[in-house]
Amino acid sequence: MRFVSDAAPSPRAPVRFVAGGPRRHHRRGPRARGGRGLAILLLALAALAACEARDIVIPGGDTSPVQDATGPDPGSDPTAADDAAHETPPGDAPDLPRPDPLTPDPLTPDSHEIPLPDAVSPPVCPANNDGRIDAAEMPVAIGAAPAFVANAYGTEVAVAVDPVDGAWDFTEGPEDVRTPMSVLAPGGFWFADRFPGATFVSPLSAQDPSVVAVYLADGTGVRLMGVASAEADPPSGRTLVVYDVPVPLFEFPLEVGRTYGATSSFKDALLFGIPNAGKEEYAIAVDAAGTLVLPAFTLHNTLRLRVEVSQRLVVAPQPDPIRSIQFIFVHECIGEVARISSPVNTTDPHFATAREFRRLSF
């Protein structure tokens, strides 16, 4: 089943954030100057902009201020007689779990995990582990909630993006937060009418699922339609970015050597309540395949996608384009199993520190 989250091209860039003391697995990243913004990318796939308290990049999957997201019980039966009692009130969002802080932090809100609804049954997937992923090998499982562990929001962590002897060993890594990357139907969200034809919604980042990515999935691929705040009017301000051209996160078939890209713009957008507009260019390549060792299991013939994003914003923290790179690791019949997002203004694909390193785990 497909467990897609942050974007497909994971869109986003780092934001200013204040958190508890130093962590064992990472160090604090440099503070951004200037302001507040968001960044959108892919597979994040995580890139947007700046204003007064943060800098973010939105490429389909990355960072934003922590806030609560509440809504109807995902396990409730929509056909039950007491439907009206459980109907989502206007302005509320479907229930999205918050990160579970494994290291106590007084500045991190309490979290809760949403169990997988009993009604969810994984779609049939014809796995053959041949190093090529077709549309049938990435079905969307609405209601699934695969758990990812990651470094805390606003921090940076050391990473090894290049394989060693054909393998990536991700058994060790930051576990500051554990987040169910829920795959939800878009219909119950406040922004549903802004994304006609959308297939599913999932958190943009494992570090903070209060901002979600909206995807369109069909037999040709998975495309990022935009991002939005899970709640209509959160304390941090509303976020709504709708791409004029959906950004391809996955184009089937996925296999080493496949390359594609897109240029997309957005206007009349809101980033944490601040008006903005921008243009983004994506260059995506399936650039490697190998063995991926995770805390829960070892996967062979896992594909790595390199997503390079350049974005220009009307309200921006710098005059030059904001550049970032994401590596998304995908496996047939599972979907995304790991993601590494570079710091903002990174152009070297061999970067050694990441603003987000998330892995599928227990």
Which of 56-60, 69-73, 126-130 shows the lowest mean pLDDT across its residues? Answer: 56-60
Question: What is the DSSP-derived secondary structure letter of residue 227?
Answer: E
Q: Is the pLDDT of residue 305 over 50?
A: yes
Cβ burial of 134 (10 Å; 0-12, 13-18, 19+) is: middle
Q: Give me the pLDDT at residue 101, please.
A: 52
pLDDT digits (tens, 9 = 90+) for 168-226: 999 999 999 999 999 999 999 999 999 999 999 999 999 989 999 999 999 999 999 99
Residue 283 in this model has a pLDDT that exceeds 90 = yes
What per-residue confidence (pLDDT) applies to 100? 54
Residue 352 confidence (pLDDT): 98
How much is the average pLDDT of 10-17?
Answer: 34
How confident is the model over 10-33, as a mean pLDDT?
36
Q: Rounded CA gap, 362 and 359, in Å?
A: 10
Query: Per mean pLDDT, which range of 85-94, 180-189, 304-313 is the poorest?
Result: 85-94
pTM of the model: 0.72
- What is the pLDDT at residue 12? 40
The predicted pLDDT at position 7 comes to 37
pLDDT-derived band of residue 102, with 50, 70 and 90 as boundaries?
very low
Q: Taken in order 354, 355, 361, 362, is the CA torsion positive or negative?
A: positive
Please give the backbone phi and psi of residue 356, each rounded to the nearest 5 degrees, phi first. Answer: -145, 130
